[in-house]
Amino acid sequence: MLKTTLLNAIQAGAAQLQHYFHGSFKITNKEGINNLVTEADHASEKAIIELIQHDFPDHFILSEETGEIITNSEFKWIIDPIDGTVNFANGIPICCVSIGLEKNGEMILGAVYNPFMNELFFAQKGMGAYLNDKKIHVSEKTSVIKSCLVTGFPYTYLDAPNGPIQVFEKLIKQGIPVRRLGSAAIDLCWVAAGRFDGFYEHKLQAWDSAAGFLMVEEAGGKVTDFDNNYYSPYQPHILATNGKIHQELLAYVRGEK
C-alpha cells in the first residue's frame, strides 16, 4: 500500500507539471535571489498531499512549500513538488517530482519522476533501485580524473573558503568534466543510473535529497556528508558516488587535494 500510494502521488504531482509546463503560470520569489516558486509547485504539492492524506491521514508530511504537517506517526513523507523550479520556469525540461518516505527516521522508499523525459526512478530499502522498472547500478569508474561529475551551486556563500566555486575550479582545472543540471534529485538518480560517477553539493534541504540518496545507495553507491559520516538529509552537505571514487572525491571537496 505504501508503494502504491507513493507511485500514485508522484504521478499526480507530475501531471500538474505537465499541465502547466507549456502554458502561463504565476511565478513568485521566496527569500533570496532566484529562489522561485511557481503556481505549478503549489498545484503539484496540493495533489500529492491530498492523495497521501486520503490513504494515510495520520502520517507526518514535510514538503518544500507547505512545511511540516506534524503528527506522531512513525512515517514521514518528504516532498519536493518540483525539484528544478528555475529550469521549469524557463521551459527547461530537467525538473522532476521527488518523494521520499521515512519510517522511524530511516528512508525506506523513494521515487523521482521527470515526466518530460519519461523517467521514473524508484528505490526501496534493501530491494534495489529501478528506472522505469529496470534495475540500475552505479558506474565502475575508479578514479576522479576519468569521472564525469555533477554539482549544484547554492545562491549564497559561494565565496566561502573551499566553497562551491573553489572546489569546482580545482576539478575543472584538471580537465575533469563537472556538469550542473539544476536539479539535485535528478543528479542523484543519474549517479544511481551510472550516467554520472559522483555528485557533491554544499547546501541542500531534506526534500532535495530524501529520495535520491536512497536511489544511489540501492544502486550500489555510497552517500555521506563532507565528514564521511553516514548521510542524513537534515544536514546540508552531500557527497554521492559509485563508491569507488568516494574517498578521492571527498579529498577534493574537503580541500585536502
Residue where one domain finishes, among candidates 68, 103, 135: 135
Q: What angle do CA 81, 84, 89 make, to 5 degrees?
A: 95
Do residues 41 and 115 both lie within one domain? yes
Total count of domains within the chain: 2
Q: What integer pLDDT is reported at residue 159 of this predicted model?
A: 67
Reference 44, options 5, 17, 4, 6; nearest CA is 17
Can you give the pLDDT at residue 165?
Answer: 87
Q: What is the pLDDT of residue 22?
A: 78
Give the torsion sign (CA, 216, 56, 14, 37).
negative
Run means of pLDDT, 10 residues per run, the chain, 257 residues: 98 95 68 65 95 98 91 97 93 97 98 98 98 98 98 75 88 96 98 98 96 98 97 96 98 92
Q: Which of 176, 181, 186 is nearest to 149 (CA)?
A: 176
The full length of the chain comes to: 257
* Domain limit, last residue, from 92, 117, 135: 135
Residue 216: domain span: 144-253
Of 135, 167, 188, the residue at which a domain comes to its end is 135
Distances (CA, A) of 134 to 3, 103, 131, 137: 16, 25, 5, 10
The pLDDT score that the predictor gives to residue 222 is: 98
